[in-house]
Amino acid sequence: MILTAVQEVVLAQVSNPTPEAPPLASKFMQLLHYGTWFALLSGSAALIFAGARFGWEKWDNGRVESPKMVAGALIGGVVATSAGTLMNSLLGS
């Protein structure tokens, strides 16, 4: 009985709080957007470079190693673009 009364008093004082952004959250989000932009730009540049190297290796009849670079750039792009979705599904409610 006492435990129930204490629980009711505590629950009455603790309401459902509304989420509030921490200080400087907008600056952090801007930095996060810049990081996302840089990751996508560097992934695109890596894919273009790997494609050009692939063409050069085929033309030069040399050892073909660039398909690993193309696959790495594609996998990196998939991870970079799905990072937000993954974090929302793992940490979101």
Mean pLDDT within 70-91: 82
Please say whether the dihedral angle defined by the alpha carbons of residues 69, 73, 76 and 82, taken in this order, is positive or negative: negative
Q: Where are the domains of the chain?
A: 44-93
> Positive or negative CA dihedral for 19, 20, 22, 26?
positive
pLDDT in tens, 52-74: 888 888 888 877 778 888 888 88
**Cβ pair 76, 43 in contact under 8 A:** yes
What is the C-alpha R_g of the chain? 25
Q: How many whole angstroms separate alpha carbon 19 and alpha carbon 16?
A: 9
Decide if 80 contacts 43 (C-beta within 8 A). yes
- Whole-number pLDDT of residue 15: 65
